[in-house]
Chain A
Amino acid sequence: MSVEKRQYYFDQSKGMGIIVKTVTRLTVGIVFLFGINVALKGHLVPGGGVAGGGAIALALLSLILAFGKETALKNINRKRITMIATLGMMMFLFLGLIGLIGGNLFSTHFMDNEGKFGILKANIIPLFNIAICLLVGSGVYTIFITLIMLQVRKGSDK
């Protein structure tokens, strides 16, 4: 560990203490992978896109809570995370609209069912789960960082 990093770890002014920082650094990746796992296996085991996206958002939130908002928001700022939310919504919409090609109904299954793609044996339902996961995770994260930026001060808006 470099000297600057070590100084940062012992700096008590940003975020919480050193124990919380170390434990968060160890667990945040596991929680993130758990969220991706729940979202991708939504058609096989209980879970789904909503729970997976919520778990991903919780991993990012624990980063903010432990390390302080300046460190966490350095790479993941509001513009990028809003773009990911919009991407999820557009993915959901276009997956539905592709089914309209050829005079079929909304969200018709357009892949074949022979299981050529391995994970896509369940047709387009995992893709819908991924879209929901992107939208829920980044949307909840956007809501929370907007709340953190808001300062609760008495009568500051008068």
Chain B
Amino acid sequence: MIYLLCFVLFGVGMYGLLVKKNIIKLIMSMMISSYAIHIFLIASGFRRHGRAPVLDLSNNMQKAVMVDPLPQTLVLISIIVGAAGIALLCVVAIRLYQKFGTFDITKMKEEIED
């Protein structure tokens, strides 16, 4: 059920990416989709009554009740790359605004065709 809610969140992001015309809204849709994928990956590695992946040197039996650390690593890398890409997209959006005077992609297309 939690997986299905993650899919619904991804669907919301996809909806924005397909329907919206404002560039800032498109960037936000990409952010929402990446959030959905992040929380889906983390939830797939969750163990019930588990503990965070930080070892305690005095306790030997703890490795059996630990959540999966591998998806957390992959999502950590994904957050960095996503943030860098979104910052780059924002700069591109500002340059487009300076050139066309609008954030709307259909108006940009009309202005190019004129």
Contact = CB atoms under 8 A, between A and B. Distances in A.
Q: Do chains A and B touch in the complex (CB under 8 A)?
A: yes
Nearest to A153: B98
A152 B96 CA distance: 10
B97 A152 contact: yes
A136 interface: yes
Contacts of A154: 97-98, 101
B76 A155 contact: no
Interface string B88-114: 001100110111110000000000000
Contact of A143 (B87, B95, B101): B87
A76 interface: no
Interface residues of A, number: 18
B54 A158 contact: no
Contacts, number: 37
B31 interface: no
A45 interface: yes
B90 A147 contact: yes
Interface in B53-101: 54, 76, 79-80, 84, 87, 90-91, 94-95, 97-101
A137 to B, nearest CB: 13
Contacts of B52: 46
A136 B98 contact: no
Interface string A119-141: 00000000000000000100110
Interface string B43-59: 00000000010100000
Q: Which 5 A-B pairs have the closest CB atoms?
A: A157-B98, A155-B101, A154-B101, A157-B99, A143-B87
Interface of B: 52, 54, 76, 79-80, 84, 87, 90-91, 94-95, 97-101
Interface of A: 45-46, 48, 50, 136, 139-140, 143, 146-147, 150, 152-158
18 contacts: A45-B54, A46-B52, A50-B79, A139-B84, A140-B87, A143-B87, A143-B91, A147-B94, A150-B98, A152-B94, A152-B97, A152-B98, A153-B98, A154-B97, A155-B99, A155-B101, A158-B99, A158-B101
